[in-house]
Amino acid sequence: MISQFIRKFKPSYELYNLFKRSELEHNIEKYKKYGIHKKYYSSVSSNDFIGLESPLNIHDKFNTRDTLPKEPSFQNLSKQRQEELLPWSDRGYIILKRFFSPDRVQQINDEVRRLDQSNKARWVGNKMMFAIHYSDIMLKASADPELMRIINLIMGKKMDLFQSINFLTGSEQRTHSDSYHMSTFPYGNIIAAWIALEKTTDQNGPLHYYEGSHKLPYLVNRDFGNAGTNLFLGKKQYSDYEDKIEDVLAEHNFERKILLAEPGDVLLWHSNLLHGGEPHHDKSLTRKSLVTHYYAEDAICYHEVSQRPTLKRPLDFPQ
């Protein structure tokens, strides 16, 4: 009861944030730019952006099929990669087949085992969180230069690696969008990569996603009565958000896709693409994957779900 109160009481985490200036100051300049009167430690949510115009990223405004062929960095890609990138604006995702070589996949899987066995891994439930902060191999894979070039190209701007999550089993997560968890203003300024570290089948909890759903309006707390007040977060549960997403999907006719991936395949998805994890039926199987998220350098970064600004720890790139 008391912990519930503290979790929902905004000043309690504002106090915590007060001591985290170095990880929160990234928003200060952007608050100024958008005329948001906030301290670095303040609670922040979509309610702070009501009435502000949220400029669209280039490939939410113009179609990648028209714009990309004019880009020199697109011309430098193989024909196969070019074909893979073109549907981004239409679908809200792209699949880069066999992007990581079998050796690279093996190296990442060996590293996950090593981290786990040496107790270095930081597990939150079935997720190994932020291994990029304690593993050079995971950092190099997540910030792979070729992957970064493609990400910057389809986002039309410079993107920065923010987090990594390793899975050994399917997440079985209900359908959601990343923009509710890792939010930005202007909207649409994060992107995710889902890297297959082994084959996924209908037995080991593959990813599902709804093609074209990235074009829906961004769903925020006030859309399901969860805006809260100046002092408190809203009273709804996370499952109320998931129920709302189901209602939204029921009103549309998006095609539900299942990713049956080969090791080394990479799926990039738009921050507003609805996706989740299928049931992991055969528990004797693993489903190894690495999910990485990248924030745009020029956007306010926060978490609509908790109304907190994003804590960004610098990454220690090996020389």
Ligand X SMILES: O=C(O)CCC(=O)C(=O)O
**Does 169 participate in binding ligand X (rule CB under 6 A)?**
no
Binding ligand X by CB under 6 A: which of 27, 109, 171, 271? Answer: 171
Site size for ligand X (CB under 6 A): 12
Among 188, 263, 276, 309, binds ligand X (CB under 6 A): 276
User: Which of these segments, 14-22, 218-226, 269-277, 303-311, binds ligand X (CB under 6 A)?
Assistant: 269-277
Residue 209: Cβ-neighbour burial (10 angstroms; 0-12, 13-18, 19+): buried
For strands 93-96 and 123-124, give the pairing: unpaired
Q: H or E stretch including 148? A: helix 145-155
The count of other CB atoms within 10 Å of the CB of residue 39 is: 16
Mask for 279-298, x = binds ligand X (CB under 6 A): ----------x-x-------
List the beta bridge partners of residue 142.
Answer: none
Kind and range of the H or E element at 309? Answer: strand 308-309
> Tokens 């829906």 map to which residue?
216
Q: In angstroms, give the least distance from the CB of 177 to ligand X.
A: 8
Tell me which of 207, 233, 296, 300 binds ligand X, using CB under 6 A: 207
Query: What mask, x for binding ligand X by CB under 6 A, covers residues 87 to 126?
Result: ----------------------------------------
Q: Which residues pair with 185 in a beta bridge?
A: 300
99/85 Cα distance (integer angstroms): 13
- Contact status: 167 vs ligand X (CB under 6 A): yes
- Contact residues: ligand X, CB under 6 A: 165, 167, 170-171, 173, 178, 207, 275-277, 289, 291
